[in-house]
Amino acid sequence: MNSRLAIARAAWGNTPPDWIFALVRACDAPGASQNKVAARLSVSAATVSQVLRNSYAGDTARIEARVRATFVDADVDCPAIGTISAESCMSWRDRSKRLGSAAPNVVRMFRACRACPKFKPGAEE
């Protein structure tokens, strides 16, 4: 058993939630690292470490939503552009929290995301 999995099992119990397993697998994938996974999730490496150790003091549901969107969930039916990955949907929702560009596709997605039931300002999921 690898050390991250052992750490997660010690912290979360013998059967951690499925998204914790997904986080461990992502960190242990060939060419991956905890830092790379953290960057992909838009969190710090310390946050990933604390989540694996079940000692994260912040909103674990927010991290769970990011892990699920990035490493677990499949595709999402976007009303604006059709079928996209859950990770891409999360990225567009993040960008739609504030309009930062006048590019036509960004404005279109800003409006579409803000009208979508998946978009919840101030929350992840």
User: pTM for this structure?
Assistant: 0.71
List pLDDT tens digits, range 109-124.
888 888 888 777 655 4
Question: In 1-125, which ranges are continuous DSSP H helix?
Answer: 3-12, 18-28, 34-41, 45-52, 60-67, 86-95, 104-115
List pLDDT tens digits, range 63-91.
998 898 888 877 888 888 888 888 888 88
Which range is least confidently modeled, 3-17, 30-44, 61-75? 61-75
Q: Could you state, in order of their start, the residue ranges of all structural domains in the chain?
A: 3-72, 75-115
C-alpha separations of 107 from 42, 88, 91, 95, 113 in Å: 22, 16, 14, 10, 10
